[in-house]
Chain A
């Protein structure tokens, strides 16, 4: 009895209170010190606030205050303030203890338009496993296996848990755990081998030193069962010289064919490498080539181009052709300096063996290049820390893959040009169905086509194409017409034109023939016309637009000049002796082209509106995504550590050893295990709350006339799942929302802050079950007690 009395006295006594207060002070000091040294609240909490010792201190305070109160028994009136104060304290402590056991603090991530009722508890560790219902595959069975963490942060797993779970057939054994690790995604290249799904692995060559003369090796060859039935070489390297290697592989075995545009006759065939290093020469001229293959690790391949500079014998004006090597207009020879004459004098085509090239840089990122047989380039980069996209098979049960799509039916330059003509022909035929009215020159040609029994649209476009290839402002009469067109032009009745129109066509052809010769000698057009005392020179000067390139300015001036000739046709010399009927079809084609020019009809005008259609069919190559993990030294800031575990999984007859890295937010990929029977992820624990939160709108509010953020707000719809009621509210950084039963919602983050894309918020949810019936009332009672302690009559100074 005496001992009980002693204990009773001690527990309610000042000495015990002092011990408790001193212990609390030491704990807080230690916690503060640890946090300041490690910058880790978690580290401090593990040793102090989250430690069982701290809860023991709280219990100690509760006992001390309770017994201190009970020691005043029997109570008198003068004890009222004291008792009220201590009841308040007991209520606050009680609330704190209940919160430490039953309270929750977690986070929720929601994107606009969607909702959630799940929060994740940071610094908890579970293995989430899910599988499909054996009978109804649409039903997902999901649960988690909890890892325990000791004082030192080491993880352990109670294997007995498996027997109580929905997957009793699944046995899980923790083999190893690491407090911190590093995880990286691997795609096409894993170690020293490359992988394309469905094909044998291929070798990856290391290139450290750069030997420009050495031919780069081929790793493998693959053959796709496609209508084109083409074989592709596979080349794979590990190096930091990505651009250089890509350029070397591209140039390796790439042949350039130079043809005469007018006749289509082959002039020269050589290695592109040679054309870049030296000049390519032939009887009629020479060419120098420049390959622009700009590549950056950040932005990838930037509009690869082949630029060709021609020098033509007997012609001072040089020509430049740009050939895009990817995109819808790739391989088309774009005449840059003499575009007013149509296509350039020479045409370039490329030829090579098709290659898939994989280059892994020293950061582990993969850069893929596909060079098809016509020299087109397709490039794509795979950054392993930030894959842009990936393919998910069977909702993850079939695994995850990276993918590349390469057009299967590559088109040559010629095929692309015909593709454009087909598109124009289709559009024209459709337009004629709606409105069959045609301009005068086209009506004339249509009549001739009807007489020759050939299709008007196809013939017209073929003529325009041929005219463009003739490299002349008007059709080059020295260029023979193909046979169907010969007949059409033999029927073409130029006599139906008025006298002025005939004179306009005739004198335009004479004038422009002379002008072309001067332009090709590099002479200035305006100077020439001034020298020839052209009467309407002022109008031509107005046509010059400094914003246009030189070639475009010349085209503008020539168009205006041609129109001027027609406008003064009645004043030009008579051409009565010229027979518009009995002339060669090529001559008619020349005169007719002048007539079309007067109506601003020529090939360049048509193709400006058309983009060659890209191939609708693709070769798709894939590689499985895998992960490599390495344990690394744990950081002092525990929040930044990524623990990993190695588990032995067993189900039915299948056993598998799998490593998992902690997914802090539980949003990453779930790994298929045991032949895709389960999906698993090592993540924080998720719990359901009785509220469903739907995010309607998240926004940043700026200071007036400024881009500086003033506040962040979110409009939420909060639905109580128990009662079915909903409430709309706006929360912001300084305005939280609190439910009647103790749930508090704080807005922690909005990403991205601006409305360039759908936004996502992070909510921190705090639940204190005892707040409204213990903690807050306790604080009020405590305050009242303190006031009464000073103001009740028994204590008032006399």
Chain B
């Protein structure tokens, strides 16, 4: 009788065991503002030991060559620099295609190992684009680069043009922007932290849900 009571207990309790979905105990949610706005536009899950570089509030970020945010991964004397840029546009036709960004990254290398190049399509968070990875000589030093060049789908872009969100027009324009995430560091370090960087990039999203037409 006792055996069967134990058996019943096990029978009831076993199905309730399930894997825990949550895997982000060492991550924090970082909010990132757009260009020349205090309003956070993006958010991403960032490992707590990454160092975030804040820009002075009085510094203009109008120039799209300036990143909107940077993170650093420090490991002994080496570090990986992760920079995020966005590229606002007034019209959908003004957007820079992701493959042009990838071509620009390739051209930044003085020497690029063709066997190390990976370019694959990516889509997450409402954005679609390309992922680039390559190793070579950058600014006279051996380096690896991982980059994401992403842009909203046409439907999302148009919905954000006319969205009734609690945002200014400037902020809506920031939300519509294309963005790039670029991580540069030594090959050894980038390989070591590759999974983290990929997880960070794939967690990058707009804070506001993109509205849809029903």
A-side residues, CB < 8 A to B, are 111-116, 118, 138, 666, 686, 694, 696-697, 699, 727-730, 754-759, 780, 783-784, 787, 791
* 8 A-B pairs whose Cβ atoms sit less than 8 Å apart in the complex: A111-B126, A112-B123, A113-B209, A697-B202, A755-B120, A757-B128, A758-B126, A791-B1
A118 touching B214 by the CB < 8 A rule? yes
Q: Which residues of A contact B214 (CB under 8 A)?
A: 118, 666, 686
Nearest Cβ in chain B — how far from A693, in angstroms? 10
B126 to A754, Cβ gap below 8 A? no
- Check B121–A138 contact: CB distance below 8 A: no
Docked Cα-Cα span, A729 to B125, in Å, equals 15
Contacts of A756 in B (CB 8 A): 121, 123, 128
Q: How far is the CA of A114 from the CA of B12 in the complex (A)?
A: 38
Q: How far is the CB of B93 from chain A (nearest CB, A)?
A: 12
User: What's the Cα separation between A757 and B21 when bound, in Å?
Assistant: 26
* B210 interface residue (CB < 8 Å to A): yes
Asked if A114 and B121 make an inter-chain contact with CB atoms under 8 angstroms apart, the answer reads no
The distance in angstroms between the C-alpha atoms of A783 and B9, with both chains bound, is: 12
Rounded to whole Å, the gap between the CB of A672 and the closest CB of chain B is: 15
Give the distance in Å from the alpha carbon of A6 to the alpha carbon of B4 in the complex. Answer: 41
Q: A118-B214, A730-B21 are in contact. Are A112 and B124 (CB under 8 A)?
A: yes
If A113-B156, A114-B156, A791-B4 touch, whether A755 touches B126 (CB-CB below 8 Å) is: no
Complex interface: chain A residues within 8 A of B203 (CB): 696
Q: Which residues in A have their C-beta under 8 angstroms from that of B205? A: 113, 696
Interface contact B125-A111, CB-CB below 8 Å: no
Distance from A498 Cβ to chain B, minimum over Cβ atoms (Å): 37
Q: Are A755 and B121 in contact (CB under 8 A)?
A: yes
B209–A755 touching, CB < 8 Å: no
In the complex, the chain B residue whose C-beta lies closest to that of A783 is B8
CB distance from B92 to the nearest CB of A (A): 12
Question: Contact between A787 and B210 (Cβ–Cβ < 8 Å)?
Answer: no
Extra A-B contacts (7), CB below 8 Å, given A755-B120, A758-B127, A787-B4:
A111-B155, A114-B210, A696-B124, A727-B21, A728-B24, A757-B153, A758-B152
Contact of A729 among B8, B21, B122, B210 (CB under 8 A): B21
Taking each of B22, B152, B206, B210, which has the highest tally of chain A beta carbons within 10 Å of its own beta carbon? B210
| Interfacial residues, chain B to chain A (CB-CB below 8 A) | 1, 4, 8, 12, 21-22, 24, 120-128, 152-153, 155-156, 164, 202-203, 205-206, 209-212, 214
Q: Give the shortest distance, in Å, between B13 (CB) and chain A (any CB).
A: 12
Bound-state CA distance A156–B135 (Å) is 68
Beta-carbon contact of A113 and B122 below 8 Å? no
A residues in contact with B209, CB < 8 Å: 113-115, 694
Tell me the smallest distance from the CB of A264 to a CB of chain B, in Å. 38
List the B side residues contacting A694 at CB < 8 Å. Answer: 209
Q: Point out the residues of chain B lying under 8 angstroms from A757, CB to CB.
A: 123, 128, 153
CB distance from A738 to the nearest CB of B (A): 10
Please indicate which of the listed interface residues B121, B123, B126, B164 has the most CB atoms of chain A within 10 Å of its own CB. Answer: B123
Contact check: which of A112, A699, A729, A783 meets B126 at CB < 8 Å?
Answer: A112
A113 to B208, CA, bound (A): 9
Report Cα–Cα, A757/B126, bound state, in Å: 9
Could you tell me the distance in whole angstroms from the C-beta of A464 to the nearest C-beta in chain B? 30
Quote the shortest CB–CB distance from B19 to chain A (angstroms).
8
B50 to chain A, nearest CB (A): 20
**Shortest beta-carbon distance, A41 to chain B, in Å?**
28
Q: Which residues of B contact A114 (CB under 8 A)?
A: 126, 156, 209-212
Question: A111-B153, A114-B210, A697-B202 are contacts. A758–B164 as well, Cβ < 8 Å?
Answer: no
Residue of A nearest to B213 (CB): A395
- In the complex, are the beta carbons of B21 and A112 less than 8 A apart? no
Beta-carbon contact of A784 and B123 below 8 Å: no
Residues of B within 8 A of A113 (CB): 125-127, 152, 156, 205-206, 209-210
- Please state if B121 and A758 are interface contacts (CB–CB under 8 Å): no
Decide: A755 and B122 in contact? CB cutoff 8 A. yes
Specify which chain B residues have a CB less than 8 angstroms from the CB of A728 in the assembled complex: 21-22, 24
A-B residue pairs, 3 tightest by C-beta: A113-B126, A758-B153, A755-B123
Kindly report which residue of chain A lies nearest to residue B126, judged by CB atoms: A113
Question: How far in angstroms is the closest Cβ of chain A from B131?
Answer: 9
Residues of chain B within 8 A of A783, CB atoms compared: 8
| C-alpha gap A694/B211 in the complex (Å) | 11
- A425 to chain B: closest CB distance in Å? 26
Contacts of A787 in B (CB 8 A): 4, 8
Instruction: Tell me the smallest distance from the CB of A611 to a CB of chain B, in Å.
Output: 16
Chain A residues near B123: list those with CB within 8 A: 112, 755-759
- CA–CA, A780 to B11, complex, Å? 10
A697-B211 in contact (CB<8A): no
Question: Closest approach, in angstroms, between the C-beta of B157 and any C-beta of chain A?
Answer: 10
Bound together, the chains give a CA A759 to CA B127 distance in angstroms of 9
Partner of B156, one of A686, A730, A758: A758
Of all chain A residues, which has the CB nearest B164? Answer: A138
Most buried by B among A116, A686, A697, A780: A697
Complex contacts, A729 vs chain B, CB 8 Å = 21
B152 to chain A, nearest CB (A): 8
Name which of B21, B24, B121, B202 has the most chain A CB atoms within 10 A of its CB: B21
Shortest CB-to-CB span from A744 to chain B, Å, is 14
Check if A780 sits within 8 Å of B125, measured CB to CB: no
- By a CB distance below 8 angstroms, the chain B residues around A759 are 123
Contacting residues, chain B, for A111 (C-beta < 8 A): 126, 153, 155-156, 212
A477 to B48, CA, bound (A): 76
Identify which of B8, B125, B206 contacts A697 (C-beta below 8 A): B125
Asked if A697 contacts B212 (CB within 8 A), the reply is no
- Max count, chain B CB within 10 A of own CB: residue among A111, A113, A759, A791: A113
**A116:B8 contact, CB within 8 angstroms:** no
Chain B proximity of A726: nearest CB distance (Å)? 11
* Complex CA distance for A729 and B155, rounded to whole angstroms: 26
